Structure 1
Amino acid sequence: MTGEVRRDAYGIPHLRAPDVLALARLQGRVAAQDRAWQMELERWRMEGRTAETLGPAWLGWDVFARQVRLEATARAAFEALDPATRAWVEAYVEGVDEALPAAAGRSPELAGLGVTASTVRPWAPWTPLGVFFVQHVLFASFPGKLWRSLVAERLGPDALDLLSIEGATGGSNAVGVAGRHTDSGLPVIAGDPHRTIELPGVYAQVRLACPDFDVVGLAFPGVPGVQHFGHAGEVAWAITNAMADYQDLYREELRTGPDGLQVREADGWRAAAPSTETVRVRDADPVEVTVLVTARGPVVTGLDPSSAPGSDPAPVHSLRVPSQVGADLGFGALLPLLRSRSTEDVERALDAWVEPVNSVVVADTTGRLRHLLAGRVPDRDARLRRLPGRGWDPADRWRPGWVARPARDVEDHVVNANDRASGGGLGEEYAPPHRALRLDELVREQVAAGPVTPAGASRLSLDTKLGAVEVARPFLARAQVADAAEVLRRRLLDWDARCDAGSPTAGAWADWRHELVAWFVAHPALAPLQQPHPHAALFGPWLHVPARVGLAWERLLTRGAVLGIDPDEGVRVALERAAARADARPWGERHRLAADHGLGRSTGTDVPLAGDANCVLATSTAPGVGDSAVKGPVARYVWDLADRGRSGWVVPFGSSGDPGSPHHLDQLPLWLSGELVPLVTDWDRLVPDPTPEPEEPR
């Protein structure tokens, strides 16, 4: 193969090739070598074939994947690509297919499932687009609309604001500091995306170099280029989730007419065209899945008898998303991003971005620092941001075009933390403002203390002060309790609100919060929510009452009176119950990393963590449910525009997905301590990749 692979001391691949297509092929090959099991799992998810290999536990995902048309969407988007991007994606897939058989043969996960070098299937040309879509189809807003529908139906519209809060999407941070405040005189960008923590990690560090560009960044294994975070030497960029609402659900009415199934439209009933697909299930009978696409989009609820016992049948909802409306997954942005040399280039490249809608920080070596939104938000009635529309109502249709996205120059600094201010107001639910306010405070402190350095900027993401404590203080201050509960009350009031791993008081706070959430959940005002919901188990995380109440506990505490809830009584009861627990363990002994491995295997990563939900170090728990951290920073980075060699990055585990590799978990100690892997830019300091090349292409 034409090209060269070198690696640093942590096994991070640095790739260079004589042209763009050779480089894409090389990236595909190296990705398959490093992450074969992970990439195959994502491919199966895109195809709706996980249960075929992994068994009945994955059937719910496969039903959704077939009904939402994941692979069909990827194929349509691939066929609509411009010729240059299409050839680039095809070259990447060629590289994957060259390395995948041998890599599959080395994977203990695939071997245990009976997948061998001789049985692994080649990738389709559109597979990378499907892998990308898999990462984001449930990342946005539509499952939250199922929750809000239940709340509105069972508690009334007054409860919507109380129980609408950031759901299962996690949180991320990104900061840009203008050169006037840095030691180099040029901007610095730093941050950390927060998602479900997976092993292998969701992002892979990579360097891609050819005569057209030399870019370092974080890539989804199975997707060419670098999609969200990159440093191209003259320009660097980073993103957070803008929390925009761009996915709509529509209530559909179906009936069986003389000629078969019909769907209600604005002008009456029209023939529907359902189809049936068969999902094979390991060690079980195959399952027939009904697939139906209306004029709005694919039907994703109500077609199959998947309701919980005791619940009403699930209403029929279709899903409308920009990617499917335009047969465009945004891959037209990826090559221009790699070729960017300025903030203007990045902004032009991101004009082709579709979803998810991101809040972007970008800076270049001229000193320009910009904050902008990228992605497509439909222009429609504001009601559709909150609740499903009516498929037959013309008033609920999308209007032509997309909502204008804000963009601005930044003269001082910018903070993005999934908050309403940085998100441009294009969504319905945002993260509470605590992280954004704390980050802004920390940046201002660094600016006041002297020039901001890359090392200083990288430490911003380690802060453990919990802003939600200030919301609770007035209620704790006036609580009337005695004995052990009074001791706990005073202890919480005296606490510095830092969720350090060694802090017993952070654990006591979690106990009190847990009991407060449990009290809210059991309150008669919320009792109607306890009825079984009618939707498939796949949507359970968005519809789990204790988890949703746990996300909304601050609003219930401060505004629950509108539902007849007495927050002072809840605070008192929670203090008494938490005091009775008498759990003196430090926070880190309870707040432990719970990395998700697709097969549920022990990962060797059960380690104590600092931070908490809505700390800057957002190692998120589910208040009222448990203390384990299933979400957190899936990478950290700092991009220095003056000298790329002063940049750094780290992922939670390592560059390799192979449990036998020395680079499987070697970044974990750095990630835990807040250190970064230095970014090596000198090719002579990198070592040639010892992995042999495939003997011949497949």
Structure 2
Amino acid sequence: MTSPRPAGGPAVFRDAWGIPHLWAGSAGELAFLQGRNAAIDRSWQIELERRRSEGRTAEILGPDGLHWDRFARQAQLDDTARRCFDALDDGTRLWCQSYVDGINSALDDGLRGGPEFDAAAASPEPWNPWTPMGVFLVQHILFSTFPNKLFRAHVAATLGPDAVEFFSIEAPVWSGSNAWAVHGSRTVSGAPLIAGDPHRLLELPGVYQQVRLACPEFDAVGLAFPGVPGLPHFGQNSKAAWAITNAMADYQDLYVEELRRDAGVGTVEARGPLGWEPVAVRRETIGVRGGVAEEIEVLETARGPVIAGVPDTETQRTPDDGGFERVLSLRIPARAEARLGFEALLPLLRSRSVDDVETALAAWVEPVNSVIAADSAGSVRHFLAGVVPRRNPENRKLPVPAWSAGHQWDGRVDLPRREVPGLAVSANDRAAAGGAAGDGNGVGMEFAPPHRARRITELLEVGRALGVGDMLAIHTDTLLGSLPPFRALLDSLNPDDVGPGSAALSAEAARLRERLLAWDGRMDARSRDAGLFAAWRGAFVRRLATHPVLAPLAAPHGYSPLFGPWLSVVSRAGFAVETLLARGSELGIDLKTEAAAALEDASRLPETDWGTKHTLLPIHALPGNLETELSGAAMSGVELSGIELSGDTNCVLSMESLPGVEDRSFRGSVARYVWDLADRRNSRWIVPFGASGRPGSRHFADQLPLWAAGELAQIETDWDTLVPEEFTTGPVTTEAPGRTS
């Protein structure tokens, strides 16, 4: 049993990993304490996220921050956050204010700062009440689909509209999250289990912070976003648990806007469904460290903020309208409805059943999540939470005309839900988005391939009762789900004659083919054959990307370099390779010839284990040369560079590489967890680095060896085994109301 809760006022305890366990006498005091702790443990991280939300990173990072700052200002992230905060109910607004008061108290008490601030010659600044909502928007504004629509627009403009479907990647860019639940009827304890791992950029420090939040109303452990109150995505209290994956829903639209200007009075109008409409216009200045400040124009139409121009379109004339320019506006639910979903966060912590979890998340807006919830009474439920606008299906594919009445939003899509009598698996796949009711077409267009979901289901259906140990083993499964079409292509090659106009395979290439056909398909770090497969796959993707049919895509796309990852031809060919394997011949690509040539390319490369190439590539945004200093430094005796990793894109252990571009993994499991509803002492968690965001702390990267080895740490719940931290809090000026029925 968990030891009695602490007596007295707000207190901070630490476990052996330095993870904060926070106790307070009320939910409002606890929010204050969580904000204060985030400001102390993750000071530079939350400062950078705040500046991202305000479009002010160039002030400390220099010109490298300009691309983001332009976008953040034009997309009006900070203003959207403020609108969402102002629209909150009183209780949620006060609770969020308490969190911000905690952050600002750490600043007032001189508890922020660190080497990053010193290197940037910068200081942390006070937060606004709405800043946490801006931080959350920063994490998710590029999380959905609108950058994919930019790429499809580039394909349509370059290769023609019919070519878009060949890049329909039932393998969207950078999807790898898993979550699954086992009903108590299939577990050793008789109570449900939930497990999984979210996938994001491997930022240092990590995007998730392990934390315990306890007060008389609830006692929850989980993963928090530093700078955001509560446990929005992953948590377990004494009665209920929840976890999410990206539902891959399409809820962001790009509109092609036609603008006309009256230079005499400085007004701008946009052509809408009913004619010309006024456009909100203002100018803002972006400060640049070591450079010249930049002034930008910020425009917003009735659809949303203008974020880009339409490439390769000069000012045009029509008989009726005179001259106009074409730009792209972005419409998202959070700005359209002035709601982000923070009303769900406090009720989520208070949840005591799956009904409570679902009721709390009924207020959720974006991103749209695939939620798995369970409770100690034995119920398991799988449902989608968020807002998907109802509109023309064409909106999901490409930017659509702003002046078309048939492309405007009209209500919202009903999202699926289902009770789970056995197993629930969600891995960014189409079936998870559709639940039991359909194939997900009402929610989105592109989903992850079913490989990970099928493999997790296979590993769960073993015909015996399952325990925590079984969940841990699933996390580290390295079988490559996308191998069959590659193997079929290799098998179709005749080593002596690979097709018209092609030379026979060399002896070296033929031997490589035989080895790959005999390989077991596991992307283990110590596997030489996995390394050979990755070398051949990379060579094949590069040949596809430079094939004369696709080569025109390398022409300048005209969009901001910020969107470069979504518009890289080699990257897109790598992510769409399964579609291209199935349909590339329709484009006129001789797949056998390209595969054989890639075998020749790979056979000339040195043989290495997969892990030699597939190493950890952490991302740490720093000014000056501090990033170089950190990347070569050992933290807590743990070296941050050269960590060999098993797994790959389309493995359950989805430590992603970028075929044809980068074998190192800069995106992968940013946390792993197991929630045991029978006894929370059996629950487990891990993050890639550590609890502290302060370089030099012994907890900066002390979890890295366990994470790299696929191990998880036990969650400590006994207060008397934790170490109290000396702490004096300032006054809590606001209080969240108690639970209401």
Q: Tell me the distance in 1 between the aligned counterparts of 2:593 and 2:705.
A: 44
Alignment partners' CA distance in 2, 1:121 and 1:478: 62
What residue is the counterpart of 1:181 in the other structure?
186
User: What letter corresponds to residue 482 of structure 2 in structure 1?
Assistant: A
Change (3 A) 1:107 1:41: same
1:304–1:222 distance in 2 versus 1, CA, 3 Å: farther
2:492 aligned partner: 478
Q: Secondary structure at the match of 1:538?
A: helix
Offset from partner CA, 1:407-442 (integer Å, 9 cap, x none):
001111011110111012111111122111111111
CA shift in 2, pair 1:442/1:306, >3 Å? farther
Match of 2:420 in 1: 410
Distance 2:348 2:446 in 1: 29
Q: Cα–Cα, structure 1 residues 267 and 664, in superposed 2: closer, same or farther, change >3 Å?
A: same
- Deviates most, 675-684 or 62-71: 675-684
List gaps (5 residues or longer) in structure 2.
1-7, 315-323, 435-439, 496-504, 632-638, 734-741
- The answer to which of 9-18 and 524-533 deviates more is 524-533
Q: Distance in 1 between matches of 2:138 and 2:311?
A: 22
Report what 1:532 is aligned to.
556
**1:456 aligned onto 2:470:** yes
Q: Which moved more, 1:287-296 or 1:549-558?
A: 549-558
- Post-superposition shift, 1:472? 1.1
- After TM superposition, the structure 1 stretch with the greater mean CA deviation from structure 2, 457-466 or 33-42, is 457-466
Give the partner amino acid of 1:79: D
**1:237 aligns to 2:251 (yes or no):** no
Alignment of 1:520 with 2:544, yes or no, is yes
Of 684, 706, 729, 1:648 maps to: 684
Offset of residue 267 of structure 1:
2.9
Partner of 2:708: 672
Count matched residues. Answer: 684
Q: Secondary structure at the match of 2:52?
A: helix
Conserved? CA contact 1:261–1:271, under 8 Å:
yes
1:110 paired residue number: 117
User: Counterpart of 1:621 in 2: which secondary structure?
Assistant: strand
Q: Against the structure 1 CA distance between its residues 82 and 139, is the aligned structure 2 distance closer, same or farther, given a 3 Å change threshold? A: same
Give 1:615-634 correspondences, 5 Å limit.
615-634=651-670
Contact between 1:301 and 1:314, CA under 8 Å: does it hold in 2?
no
**Which segment drifts farther, 46-55 or 597-606?**
597-606
From the superposition, tell whether residues 304 and 103 of structure 1 become closer, same or farther in structure 2 (CA, over 3 Å). farther
User: C-alpha distance in 1, partners of 2:138/2:286?
Assistant: 18
Kindly report which structure 2 residues correspond to 1:79-228, keeping only aligned pairs within 5 A, or say none: 79-100=86-107, 105-116=112-123, 120-165=124-169, 166-228=171-233
Of 607, 610, 615, the match for 1:587: 610
Task: Give the whole-Å Cα distance in 1 for the aligned partners of 2:77 and 2:279.
Answer: 20
Deviations 1:160-207 (CA, angstroms, capped at 9, x unpaired): 222122444432000101111100011100000000000000000111
Moved more, 69-78 or 266-275: 266-275
1:186 aligns to what SS in structure 2?
Answer: coil
Alignment identity in percent? 52
> Amino acid of the residue matched to residue 208 of structure 1?
L
Question: Is the contact made by 2:240 and 2:375 (CA closer than 8 Å) also made in structure 1?
Answer: yes
Question: AA paired with 1:56?
Answer: P
1: CA distance, partners of 2:404 / 2:545: 36
Give the drift of 1:305: 11
| Cα distance, 1:270 vs structure 2 | 3.0
TM-score normalized by structure 1? 0.95
Distance 2:356 2:732 in 1: 35
Q: 1:571 aligns with which of 583, 586, 595?
A: 595
Q: What is the deviation of 1:228?
A: 0.0
CA distance in 2, matches of 1:3, 1:609: 41
Q: Are the structure 2 counterparts of residues 96 and 23 from structure 1 closer, same or farther at C-alpha, using a change threshold of 3 Å?
A: same
Query: Is 1:555 aligned to 2:579, yes or no?
Result: yes
Distance in 2 of aligned mates of 1:33 and 1:267 = 52
Distance 1:218 1:697 in 2: 24
Q: CA deviation at 1:266?
A: 2.2
Cα RMSD of the aligned pairs, angstroms, is 1.9
In 2, Cα distance between the equivalents of 1:467 and 1:266?
46
Aligned to 2:432: 422
The aligned residue for residue 317 of structure 2 is none
TM-score, length basis structure 2: 0.90
**Which of 275, 285, 289 is the equivalent residue of 1:282?**
289
Q: Relative to 1, partners in 2 of residues 1:3 and 1:695: Cα closer, same or farther, differing over 3 Å? A: closer
Offset at residue 32 of structure 1 (A): 0.8
Q: Distance in 1 between matches of 2:261 and 2:75?
A: 22
State whether residues 477 and 652 of structure 2, in contact with CA within 8 Å, keep that contact through their aligned partners in structure 1.
Answer: yes
Residue in 2 that maps onto 1:310: none
C-alpha distance in structure 1 between counterparts of 2:650 and 2:248, whole Å: 15
Output the amino acid matched with 1:255. R
3-state secondary structure, aligned to 2:539: helix
Distance 1:694 1:363 in 2: 35
Distance 2:278 2:467 in 1: 64
* Kept after mapping to 2: 8 A contact 1:240/1:416: yes
Find the aligned partners of 1:213 and 1:620 in 2 and give their Cα distance.
36
The 8 Å contact of residues 104 and 115 in structure 1, kept in 2 or not, is answered as no
Query: Could you list the runs of 5+ residues in structure 1 that have no partner in the other structure?
Result: 308-312
Structure 1 contact 301–315 (Cα < 8 Å) conserved: no
**In the alignment, is the contact (CA less than 8 A) between 1:80 and 1:327 conserved in 2?**
yes
Which of 509, 517, 522 lines up with 2:533 in the alignment? 509
Looking at structure 2, the residues matched to 680 and 455 of structure 1 have their Cα atoms a distance apart, in angstroms, of: 17
Say which SS state the counterpart of residue 543 (structure 2) adopts: helix
1:331 lines up with 2:366 in the alignment: no
Residues 452 and 650 in structure 2, CA contact (< 8 A), matched pair in contact too = yes
Counterpart amino acid of 1:512? Answer: W
Residues 315 and 490 (structure 1 numbering): CA distance in 2 closer, same or farther, change over 3 Å? farther
Taking the aligned partners of 1:696 and 1:413, their CA distance within structure 2 comes to 47
Q: Within 2, Cα distance between the matches of 1:31 and 1:580?
A: 50
Give the conservation status (yes or no) of the 8 Å contact 1:167–1:548: no
Kindly indicate whether the alpha-carbon contact (under 8 Å) linking 2:40 and 2:112 is maintained by their aligned counterparts in 1. no
Secondary structure of the 1:637 match is strand
Query: Structure 2: how far apart are the matches of 1:433 and 1:103?
Result: 50
Q: What is the deviation of 1:388? A: 1.2
1: CA distance between counterparts of 2:342 and 2:720? 33
Contact 2:312 2:558 (C-alpha < 8 Å) held by counterparts: no
Asked if the contact 2:686–2:713 (Cα under 8 Å) also holds between the matched residues in 1, the reply is yes
Deviation at residue 242 of structure 1 after TM alignment: 0.4
Question: Structure 1 residues 517 and 525 mapped into 2: Cα distance closer, same or farther (>3 Å)?
Answer: same
- Asked whether the 8 Å contact 2:39–2:112 carries over to 1, the reply is no
What letter corresponds to residue 431 of structure 2 in structure 1?
A
The yes-or-no answer on 1:17 pairing with 2:24 is: yes
Look up the match of 1:496: 520
Change (3 A) 1:315 1:499: farther
SS in 1 for 2:200: strand
Alpha-carbon distance between aligned partners in 2 of 1:591 and 1:305, rounded to the nearest angstrom: 39
2:288 is equivalent to residue 253 of structure 1: no
Residue deviations 1:227-251, cap 9 Å, x none?
1000011110100000000000000
Contact kept? 1:646, 1:678, Cα under 8 Å = yes
User: 2: distance between equivalents of 1:689 and 1:494?
Assistant: 57
Partner in structure 2 of residue 78 of structure 1: 85
Q: Distance in 2 between matches of 1:494 and 1:369?
A: 41
Query: Residue deviations 1:272-310, cap 9 Å, x none?
Result: 332110001011111011100000000010199999xxx
The DSSP-based 3-state class of the residue aligned with 1:292 is strand
User: Cα 1:572–1:169, aligned 2, differ >3 Å: closer, same or farther?
Assistant: closer
Residues 179 and 197, structure 2, Cα contact 8 Å, conserved in 1: yes
Contact 1:306/1:536 (<8 A) preserved: no
Q: Look up the equivalent residue of 2:407 and give its one-letter code.
A: D
Give yes or no for contact 2:195–2:675 (8 Å, CA) kept in 1: yes
Contact 1:217–1:230 under 8 Å retained in 2: yes
Counterpart contact for 1:97–1:697, Cα < 8 Å: no
Question: What corresponds to 1:43 in structure 2?
Answer: 50
